[in-house]
Chain A
Amino acid sequence: AQTVTQSQPEMSVQEAETVTLSCTYDTSENNYYLFWYKQPPSRQMILVIRQEAYKQQNATENRFSVNFQKAAKSFSLKISDSQLGDTAMYFCAFMTTTFQGGSEKLVFGKGTKLTVNP
C-alpha cells in the first residue's frame, strides 16, 4: 500500500521569505503522480501543484515549485516570496495510474500547518 509522510506538523515563515515543506512517499509503482493541495482556514481543498513521476523536470507554478527526487521518493514544496494568504494546511498526495480498472484515488499525508507571519 502507498503511504505518504509529512514529517513537519507545523512550520512558520516570515512574509516575503522562502520556505520548503517536506514529503516522502512509499510505493512499488513506477508510474504515478504527486500533488500538493492547500487547505486554508476556509477548509476548501485547493490544488497547488502536480508532478508526473515520468517527468524529470520539476514542476513550477508561479511562486510554488517542487523538488522531486524519484529515487529517494521525496517530493518537497518550495514557496518563494511567501504571502500572508499562503497561511494554510498543506497536504502532499500520491496517485497511481492504471490503464483498466483500479482507482486513481489520492492518498494524503497528515499535512503541514504553515503560518506566514507579517
Chain B
Amino acid sequence: DSGVTQTPKHLITATGQRVTLRCSPRSGDLSVYWYQQSLDQGLQFLIQYYNGEERAKGNILERFSAQQFPDLHSELNLSSLELGDSALYFCASSVVGVLGSGANVLTFGAGSRLTVL
C-alpha cells in the first residue's frame, strides 16, 4: 500500500457521460498530481495542485477539471466522455512545495481504470 488512495478502481461508463475520480494523498503530502496512461500516449501529466491551489497544468482537456479540497484530497472530473478517454488515471502525491525544491519523490496510487463504451 503506497498510502495514496484512489477510488474507484474500475469504472465503466458510456460516451457523453460524466465521472469523478477521487484521490487521497499520503499523510503529510501537500501536492497532488494527476496523470493519464493510455496505450498510445504513455503517461501524460494532466494537472498538479499544491495545498488547494493549481500549480501546473499539462495536457488536460477542457472537458476535464480538477480541484483539491481543504482536507487535501483531490477530485478529477471528466465530462462529455469519449471513447478515447478510456485510460488508467493515476494520482500521485509528494511533499513538494514547502521549499519549492528538493529531491521530491512522487508516490503513486493504484490508479482508476476508466472504460468508456
| Interface of A toward B, CB cutoff 8 Å | 31, 33, 35, 37, 42-47, 50, 52, 91, 95, 97-111
Contact = CB atoms under 8 A, between A and B. Distances in A.
A28 B31 CA distance: 25
Interface of B: 2, 31, 33, 42-43, 45, 48, 55-56, 58, 88, 90, 92, 94, 96, 99-108, 110-111, 113
B43 A108 contact: yes
A2 to B, nearest CB: 11
A-B pairs, 10 with minimum CB distance: A103-B56, A45-B108, A108-B43, A97-B101, A104-B96, A99-B100, A110-B42, A105-B45, A100-B100, A104-B104
A27 B106 CA distance: 20
Contact of A95 (B42, B58, B104): B104
Contacts of B45: 105-107
25 contacts: A31-B101, A35-B105, A42-B110, A43-B88, A43-B111, A44-B2, A44-B111, A45-B92, A47-B106, A50-B105, A97-B101, A98-B100, A99-B101, A101-B100, A102-B100, A103-B55, A103-B56, A104-B94, A104-B101, A104-B104, A105-B45, A105-B58, A106-B92, A107-B45, A109-B42
